Amino acid sequence: MSRVERSPLRYFKFCPRCGRQLRISKVDGHPHLKCDQGDFVFFQNPHSAVSGLIFDRRGRVMLVKRKYNPKKGFWDTPGGFVGWGENPKQAVIRELREELKVHFQPQDLSGIFHDWYDMFNLRYSVYNIYYTGTISGRPRPASDVAAIRWFPLNRLPQKISFSHIRRALRHYRTTHQKKS
């Protein structure tokens, strides 16, 4: 399925505020779903997700194996979606506490990478925000994590869940390469 076919423009039918029909109309020059009554515009702005880049003393990166779909059994960076009203730093601390039962101390913003996230036959546009940082405590997998493992950056697993992870790790390698 193409990006357009999975766009909310094709799937959302009714105004969540008053229940009238939603129609595609241009708002500020861009197509958006707008309520017939005019009391609601569905802005399909990107969602935000956060990830922690954590390395051990040998420079290996921590990846977690996804226990559930989408991408069940694939390797992922630990993290998740930013909540309503939450700032990204708070979100990454909360997500890593939930997922690994550790306290994550964010250090630097490593980068922001766009990707698509497919769920329930809809395609979401997502900004993935990466923080490097350190953890205190021994990581233990939460109920949605099948395994936690450290990987050398030049020997990443084949089954990586999303392309932004490879891009984020490549970016990290490029910016942290030792000049020798």
Tell me how far, at minimum, the Cβ of 167 lies from Zn ion, in Å.
39
Q: What is the nearest approach in angstroms of Zn ion to the Cβ of residue 145?
A: 40
Q: Which is nearer to Zn ion, 22 or 165 (CB)?
A: 22
Q: Which is nearer to Zn ion, 8 or 111 (CB)?
A: 8
Core vs surface per residue 93-126: b (16+ CB within 10 A) or e? bbbbeebbebebebeeebbebebebeeeeebbeb
> In the complex with Zn ion, which residue's Cβ is closer, 18 or 112?
18
Q: Which is nearer to Zn ion, 20 or 167 (CB)?
A: 20
For β-strands 145-151 and 61-66, DSSP reports them as antiparallel
What's the min distance (Å) between Cβ of 78 and Zn ion? 39
Torsion of CA 104, 95, 72, 114, to 10 degrees: -90
Q: Which residues bind Zn ion (CB under 5 A)?
A: 15, 17-18, 20, 35, 37, 39-40
Q: How far apart are CA 68 and CA 65, in angstroms?
A: 9
**Beta carbon of residue 55, minimum distance to Zn ion (angstroms, whole number):** 49
- Give the Cα separation of 144 and 98 in Å (integer): 10
| Rounded Cα–Cα distance for residues 87 and 163 (Å) | 24
